[in-house]
Amino acid sequence: MKRKNQVSVYFNDQDYAIISEQFTQSTHRKLSGFLREKALEKSVVERVHNASLDRVYDTLAEIKTDLQLACDSFERCASEIKEYVGSAKIETELMDLELNRRKLVVQLQKAFDRISKLADQ
């Protein structure tokens, strides 16, 4: 249904600060919708800060970084294998690749540990 009736409301600074605070704690994107529900005495869904969800996001960001490091290490290993297959320096390069593989395992273990810690919370 189209809205064709307009209501103008003026607030003093104190009242506007209260309304603004309530609006920021709601799930509304527009102040007009928030005020309409308040005026019609409909229930307004409030947004609740969830600290545990923040920890999940932070942990996922750390896991993303760990996995990106692991992928970068893996890609380096793969390109080095292609470069040195059939070369006389293959033994030393294989030792370097083994060190890179171990770094990859460490990064993956860090990611696994963070996921396990997050699951326990």
Could you report the per-residue pLDDT of 37-80, keeping only the tens digit for each? 888 876 666 666 677 777 777 888 888 888 788 778 777 777 77
DSSP string across 29-92: SSHHHHHHHHHTT---PBP---HHHHHHHHHHHHHHHHHHHHHHHHHHHHHHHHHHTT-TTHHH
Residue 26 DSSP SS3: strand
Global confidence as pTM: 0.39
